[in-house]
Amino acid sequence: MAIGELADGLTVNLDHVPRKYEGLDGTELAISESQERMAVVLDSADVQAFCEAAARENLNAKIVAFVTEEPRLRMEWRGDRIVDIARSFLNTNGVTQNAQVYIEAPDGDLNYRKLVPECLAGKPLAEAFRENLARLEVCGQRGLAERFDSSIGAATVLMPFAGKYQMTPEDAMVAKLPVDHGETDDATAMSYGYIPGIARFSPFHGAAYAVVESLSKLAVVGADPMKARLTFQEYFERLKDVPSRWGKPTAALLGALTAQLKLGLPAIGGKDSMSGSFENLDVPPTLVSFAVAMTKASKTKSAALQKAGSALVWFPLPETEGSMLPDWEKIPGYYKEILSRMENGDILSASVVKEGGVAAAAAKMAFGNRLGISMDRNMEDAATLFAPASGSIVAELREGAEFPASARKVGNVTEEASIVLGGVSMPVEELTKVWNSRLEKIFPNEAPEVPLSVDVPLWTERSGKAPAIHTARPQVFIPVFPGTNCEYDTARAFEKAGAKPEILVVKNLTAADIEETIVEMDKRIRQSQIVMFPGGFSGGDEPDGSGKFIATTFRNPRIAEAVADLLENRDGLMLGICNGFQALIKLGLVPYGKIVEPSENAPTLTFNTLGRHISKMGYTRVTSVKSPWFAGVEAGDVFAVPLSHGEGRFVADDATMAQLVANGQIATQYVDLSGAPSGNVQWNPNGSVCAVEGITSPDGRVLGKMGHSERKSENAYRNVPGEKDQRIFESGVAYFK
């Protein structure tokens, strides 16, 4: 089959399809979906080379089908042909169907974008302001968002939550393009738009404003919406044979198409579902718009308020009164003004109005850095504050900037962390708790404070130890176990520091693979000066503690002997981060400096006190500089480091803690904004005893830590203040010079 041609025929042998679960019959195999399988079409001459390459990556590649000239799709199972369909039939996409469609005209008096939510109507403004933040449509989702790793790849420009308190939700994802070597300023921005209430009012308007909302979210991070590409996700009730039900997806698709044609922006692909009904319950008409555009990491803006003295302004979206739609001709100019004011420095931060209206947008902008807002008198109107005027933009204007003619004053940014509305002062800290409280029982953010039972003084004495053999470019061995996902970030960090990283994929599909891996690991360790355990989820975070798979492998006598030679005879270094730290501690390499049998009194890492995965930036203090890994920093230095783990809580008894403190082995601790170790879950997110984030071996040459120090790059995590580079990798390399 020539490249680019579509195969006319295919014969599939279902007996050869790898399966996770035994017992599936031919029909189940034929229709099953699996994220664990991928189909690749190859020239027959390339099959062997491809399978060999897959084996090196510990992947199971099987020949399951052959392209045929005869235009039929055939599937065989256990000697029987269970599928035999003509290609001509497949090309018809099945039987042609027709349906009657009736699109209901929306009632302008019920325009959701202009209405105050019923639960807030008639209440005093300050009371309504608080209740608005606790509404299910508005409330904080940090406890849900932190379950997803937001910093993997070391290319994250905006963390999901901004500010030194990490409480302002960002409107778009921004991440740099992945590169194998060096740095890039090129980044992608991705956003979404959809409000169920607008779609219920009118699926047509709901889809049109979903497109605009997704584009506005690109604008507030500094990306050009008029260069975006779109994709849609639709989800509707079962349509049956009811014309009015068919009218909802029809109207939604027409609304999205209208927005595309008017703005000249194409959609690439999409996904639809018509199964959103259960008995008498139907989902609201759903068309979510996703927008993607290129941007520059260095020019990316955040939603968190930046400076007291700034003005907060609202840019209403240009609209056509009669149609209740955006004024399509004015939209490009609307975005151009926002972007130009960002470019010249007038706009310091910006956010898009969504559910909750201008009030919720302004409050969330204040949460991240706990700045206050003195609301302007022209905002003392319920409709202005709370109506979900989606797609419009609230922006922080620098002090002294020319006030935009197209904007309305929201208020002034104040140093005092309170929002003042109609003479009532509402502390930002209190409002943040209200905003976070609604989903606390489902996606928790609070956990009991961990008492700091031991005072850990700064250890300022450096070890002065030197390796047996010096080299300008030390070799770093990085084993990659099933589930490891930080090897590329780690290798790039070492390479940038001047080392030579060597990645080895651990193969375990067969007994021969395992033996081959053991032999190769032994060889690589003996050739290297540094052994690094990168982060991830080895063995899928196997039961009874992650890192166990790595530790079991390194207890192999051959591997253990190579590690002992590295540490005892060649004065080499070892480093383990996150999952790698878990492996080091299970082996005993920290805190004991050698592989030992596990004991009941040994320190360990266990589940976070929140009972869930956490992904955020953590403030950590360098408590000891005994380790050569911290040669480039000073005791007491504080860094903002990405965290991402479910089992990162360090636990040790009092006797062990006393010994670690006395030996200067507590390398790093979680601290608050003042730099003091903390037991509060906001600053010590996994609940580690004595706020321990990292420990070392007695001589400091083995370091284990939870924070992903390897996930560093230019313009990463711009929306969370603090120094990000601990110079760990540079220090490790310098040790051998």
Distance from C-alpha of 589 to C-alpha of 703, rounded to nearest angstrom: 9
Alpha-carbon separation of residue 513 from 55, 58, 63, 468, 519 (angstroms)? 9, 9, 20, 34, 10
26 vs 14: CA distance, rounded Å: 7
Q: Catalytic residue at 578? A: yes
Token pair of 116 as six digits: 């105050």
> Length of the chain, please?
737
- CB 404, CB 341: distance < 8 Å: yes
Active-site residue identified among 237, 396, 710, 730: 710
CB atoms closer than 10 angstroms to residue 141: 15
CA distance 339 to 589: 52
Residues 6+ apart with CB under 8 A from 159: 150, 151, 166, 170, 616, 617, 717, 719, 720
Q: What is the 3-state secondary structure (H, E, C) of 562-607?
A: HHHHHHHHCCCEEEEECHHHHHHHHHCHHHHCCCCCCCCCCCEEEC
Based on the residue annotation, tell me whether 139 is a catalytic residue of this protein.
no
Helix (H, G, I), strand (E, B) or coil at 433: helix
Q: Where are the beta strands (DSSP E) in 244-376?
A: 267-273, 277-278, 281-282, 286-296, 311-315, 319-320, 325-326, 347-352, 372-375
Phi-psi region of 279 (alpha: psi -120 to 50; beta: other; left: phi over 0): left
User: Which residues contact residue 367 at a Cβ distance below 8 angstroms, ignoring those fewer than 6 apart?
Assistant: 163, 165, 167, 168, 304, 428, 431, 432, 435
- The one-letter code for the residue type at 63 is I
Contact 352, 217 (CB under 8 A): yes
Q: What DSSP string describes 75-133?
A: EEETTEEEEEEEHHHHHTTSS-------PPPP-GGG-GGGPPPTTTTTS-HHHHHHHHH
Q: Which of 146, 237, 708, 730 is catalytic?
A: 708
Beta strands in 145-285 (DSSP E): 161-162, 168-169, 173-176, 186-193, 229-235, 267-273, 277-278, 281-282
| Catalytic position from the list 139, 486, 578, 690 | 578
Helix/strand/coil (H, E, C) string of 443-461? CCCCCCCCCCCCCCCCECC
Give yes or no for a contact between 608 and 430, defined as CB atoms under 8 angstroms apart.
Answer: no
C-alpha closest to that of 533 among 474, 583, 464, 462: 583
Residues ≥6 apart with Cβ < 8 Å to 666: 456, 459, 623, 624, 660, 690, 692, 694, 695
Q: Which two tokens stand for residue 596?
A: 């030992």
Q: How far is Cα 485 from Cα 591, in angstroms, rounded to an integer? A: 25
Structure tokens at 737: 């010079």
- The amino acid occupying position 621 is R
Distance from C-alpha of 538 to C-alpha of 647, rounded to nearest angstrom: 13
Q: Which amino acid is at 81?
A: R
Asked if 565 and 526 count as a contact pair (C-beta separation under 8 A), the reply is yes
Measured in degrees and rounded to the nearest 5, phi and psi for residue 47 equal -60, -45
355 included as an active-site residue: no
Sign of CA dihedral 726, 727, 729, 731: negative
Q: How many CB atoms lie within 10 A of CB 669?
A: 27
Which residues are marked as active site? 578, 708, 710
